[in-house]
Structure 1
Amino acid sequence: MILLFCGVLCVWVGTVAAAWSTTIGVVLPGSSLVFYQTMIRGIERAASDQHVQLLMRNPSDGASLETPNLQRHIIDYLVQQGVAGIVLAPEPLQGASTASISVPIVLVDRASADYKSLSTVSTDNFEAGRIAAQSLLPVLRKGAKVAVLRLAPNIRSTSERENGFLSVARKEQWDVVVDSYVGYRPRDAEGLIANALNSYTGHLDAVFAPAEPIAYGALRVVEAKAIGDRPRLVVFDWRPEFMTGLKRGVIYADVVQDPYRMGYLAVEALVGALHGHPVLSTVFVDVVTVTPNNIHDPAIRAVLATYAH
């Protein structure tokens, strides 16, 4: 009996060791934004639950936009290190057709035509942009003066959000008087946001900021205005500062993604595929709209609790 137990134990230990010997690579666009910090926590939790190791290499935020094909070089390095597959939040490639990667890829946060992937786990960004605009329907009328602050023309996720918002603006016949790219670095964005909003000399009724760095800059710019001159600010993503902005009424609504769940599901899909299980080609993770009125709802608090602190 003791020998039988030892035999079973040795088989079990050997199985666990074999499972943990699998390493998957992870490449995100950066790691300093709260959004990516939270996604990394989801990725790490899934790796632990799936008994795989991670080899994560993230450029500094924005570096892969400034250095052509930086992510592709990182991917090549991970493949050389023997990863079994890669979870990738892709930045656009320059001067290249669809990249040929020798290991399976699951995309997270955004789709891309630059890489052949098994699955894409993300927000339905066009619909989320529509949801952001629809939050304003009770308070804006035809002819309302609206500003859309854009991130960058070649980032698919934010472009889809911006276009989703604008689709509702056109339908409702709002007057989009500011439609400007303000960049992806929070410190630079704040000055560009102030310039963009101040370029319209009349009163703005609403401002849409479709990503964390823009949202943070827009919050600071709008909060600096006199109370009677503040537009309704609709932001995207989450930072601790946004809680204060909501409570003080500076933020009208915040469309919050669930990057923790995105990261978790992306790893889960990749590991499943490595074990021969079918995966969905597209997985959309729901957003929640946070307002001063619902900020204490259990469902809202559950999503916010997943964010890195």
Structure 2
Amino acid sequence: MLAPLRLFVLLWSLAVMAPTAHASTIGVVLPGSSLVFYQTLLKGIQQSALDHRVDLLIRNPSDGESLNTPNIQLRIIEYMVTQGVSGVVLAPEPLAGDTRVSVPVPLILVDRYSADYDGISTVYTDNFSAGRKAALSLVPVLKKGAKVAMLRLAPNVSSTVARESGFLSVARKEGWDVVIDTYVGYRPRDAEVLIAEVIKSYPGRLDAVFAPAEPIAYGALRVIETAAIGQRPRLVLFDWRPEFLDGLKKGIVHAAILQDPYRMGYLALASMVEALQGHPPPRTLFVDVVTVTPQNMNDPAIRSLLAKYTR
């Protein structure tokens, strides 16, 4: 729970920054704004809002603050409701407490499912299947007993937990030895330091590393590219940053599993408009992932997807 003074300052700041919403305004709350994934998600939301002729009231906490200060997203949503938004699109972070929250306006979840909120629809990736796809990219090149590192994000983020579980389901079936299985966090620079520590402390040679989210992928790439060419493990990463292209070209990145956050954002906002017009959207809308490798990175469809991530 936010301290009363801090909550007052937050809501006062929000009130200063935004005018009162009108009937065609939809609120948007993401976990942050610095990751390329969320920037691309927001671009999709904004284009959809433009196409559907609705206004947006966008307010995000600082990156990571949702995890460090539980329920801050909920406070922002409460503020938006007082400003008169007709619905809210939310990429949810975990709430403190066990009570499921009902927001008094339609709520659509995007990027991940959350049992904390009573949303009318969720637009996201089938993350368990996507984690399996990440591991399956390694099946042709890893033998039974291969030494693999699992670099985890956080235990309470449902999307990455599902990816990690999907990857491990294939690893166990294939008989790989997961010799590193640890949390490295969600801040890119901090994650990079921890990744360097855990990889360099492993006494043997790693065959593969799985990085299930953008901040971990960034740190893992920077660490692995400093190793001697013959000692580099195969890196399978999730999400995308323009910097990852060079890793693919050099063969440091074995495969990148790409979501389509632009499409997710576009569909989430479009679904909200439909709901407000009396057409309830499906409870679940899955957006497919794509496996990008050095072999297919120049395919037109792949280049089109990568272009959506351009800042």
Name the TM-score class by shorter chain: over 0.9
Give the 3 Å change call, closer, same or farther, for CA 84–21 of structure 1 in structure 2: closer
Matching of residue 115 in structure 1 with residue 117 in structure 2:
yes
Counterparts of 2:218 and 2:53, CA distance in 1: 36
1:26 aligns with 2:36: no
Question: How far apart in 1 are the matches of 2:80 and 2:28?
Answer: 9
The question of whether the paired residues in 2 share the 8 Å contact of 1:98 and 1:114 is answered with yes
Shift of 1:259: 0.2
Q: CA deviation at 1:278?
A: 2.5
Matched, 1:105 2:107: yes
The percent of aligned pairs where both chains have the same amino acid is: 69
260, 267, 273: which is aligned to 1:258?
Answer: 260
Taking the aligned partners of 2:213 and 2:90, their CA distance within structure 1 comes to 19
* Match of residue 205 from structure 1: 207
Where 1:240 maps in the other structure, the secondary structure is coil
In the TM superposition, residue 221 of structure 1 has moved relative to its aligned partner by 0.4
Equivalent position amino acid for 1:128 in 2: A
Q: C-alpha displacement at 1:100, in angstroms?
A: 2.1
Structure 1 window deviating more from structure 2 (206-215 vs 193-202): it is: 193-202
SS state of the match for residue 178, structure 2?
A: strand
Q: For residue 309 of structure 2, what is the amino acid of its counterpart?
A: Y
Separation in structure 1 between the aligned mates of residue 162 and residue 209 of structure 2, nearest angstrom: 17
Contact 1:22 1:53 in 2 (8 A): yes
**Distance (whole Å) between structure 1 residues aligned to residue 293 and residue 236 of structure 2:** 10
The CA RMSD over aligned residues, in Å, is: 0.9
Write the letter of the residue equivalent to 1:155: V
Q: Contact 2:23–2:86 at 8 Å: present in 1 too?
A: no
Paired residue total? 290
Decide which of 247, 262, 281 is 1:245's aligned counterpart.
247
Say whether residues 1:300 and 2:302 are aligned partners. Answer: yes
Contact 1:21 1:52 in 2 (8 A): no
2:242–2:309 CA contact under 8 A, matched in 1? no
2:194 aligns to what?
192
- Supply the distance in 1 between the matched residues of 2:310 and 2:47 (Cα, whole angstroms): 13
Q: Secondary structure at the match of 1:234?
A: strand
Alignment of 1:1-309 (within 5 A): 21-309=23-311
CA deviation digits over 1:17-37, x for unaligned, max 9?
xxx850000000001100000
Paired residue type of 1:134: L
Structure 1 unaligned blocks of 5 or more: 1-19
Cα distance in 2 for residues equivalent to 1:115 and 1:100: 6
**TM-score normalised by the chain length of structure 1:** 0.93
Q: Does the 8 A contact of 1:21 with 1:53 survive in 2?
A: no
Greater shift, 206-215 or 90-99, is seen at 90-99
Asked which structure has the greater CA Rg, the reply is 1
Question: Structure 2: which 5+ runs fail to align?
Answer: 1-21
